[in-house]
Amino acid sequence: MADIRAICAIGTSGQLGRHGVLPWEGRPERPFVEDVERFFDITRGHVLVAGPKTIAAVPEFAARDRTLVTIRSSDDPQEVLARFADRVVYIGGGPRVWDVYAGFIRHWDINRVPYDGEADTWFDPAWLLAGGKAPRP
Ligand SMILES: NC(=O)c1ccc[n+]([C@@H]2O[C@H](COP(=O)([O-])OP(=O)(O)OC[C@H]3O[C@@H](n4cnc5c(N)ncnc54)[C@H](OP(=O)(O)O)[C@@H]3O)[C@@H](O)[C@H]2O)c1
């Protein structure tokens, strides 16, 4: 079974998204820029599995040194993950994806950024406790 991880950034109360993008999209302050840099550093060389909008937001330069996989709700999660058995796989969201894949995830990388504004999409702590599907050691 692949080494399955998740990576996300949240605001101070769990904000994940707003109007289809990150709530802090384009903010020039250091913590927001650093979050984007660390996302690309951490996922470099690995597999990034995510919904269509999240994959579409990955710039072309980053597509060259990682494997991008767009998933749809018709895909079988077990089958998707089985394709990358010898790889580190990051599940990049969005929320509907984490709803389904959370139980497979062994490691969560959650970066909390200093954003306390509005959102329409939120981190769900239940994802951390979703059990039953994690690969056995
Ligand atoms: N802060 C963060 O780290 C972070 C990360 C990711 C996204 N976000 C934000 O979250 C918000 C929402 O993004 P989004 O969810 O619209 O983007 P998305 O990445 O496109 O995810 C939604 C898609 O997931 C697909 N999907 C794949 N497997 C699925 C399954 N088993 N069950 C259900 N759906 C499945 C759906 O495909 P079908 O069309 O086939 O149903 C749907 O189109 C945006 O504002 C985005 O910026 C934030």
With respect to residue 108, please indicate whether it lies within any of the assigned structural domains.
yes
For the chain, percent of residues with pLDDT exceeding 70: 96
Lining ligand 1 with CB less than 6 A are: 8-9, 16-18, 20-22, 50-54, 71-75, 92-97, 100, 121
As a whole number of angstroms, the distance between CA 65 and CA 67 comes to 7
Nearest protein Cα to ligand 1, atom 30: 73
With respect to residue 137, please indicate whether it lies within any of the assigned structural domains.
no
Element (H, E) at 11: none
The two three-digit tokens of residue 55, written as one number: 């994959």
As a whole number of angstroms, the distance between CA 81 and CA 55 comes to 17
pLDDT in tens, 62-114: 999 999 999 999 999 999 999 999 999 999 999 999 999 999 999 999 999 99
With respect to residue 135, please indicate whether it lies within any of the assigned structural domains.
no
Containing domain of residue 34, as a range?
Answer: 3-129
111: which strand partners?
9
With respect to residue 17, please indicate whether it lies within any of the assigned structural domains.
yes
CATH number, domain with residue 41? 3.40.430.10
With respect to residue 46, please indicate whether it lies within any of the assigned structural domains.
yes
With respect to residue 119, please indicate whether it lies within any of the assigned structural domains.
yes
Give me the number of domains the chain comprises.
Answer: 1
With respect to residue 76, please indicate whether it lies within any of the assigned structural domains.
yes
Q: φ and ψ at 16, to 5 degrees?
A: -115, -40
E strand intervals along the chain: 3-10, 15-17, 47-50, 67-70, 88-91, 107-112, 121-122
With respect to residue 136, please indicate whether it lies within any of the assigned structural domains.
no
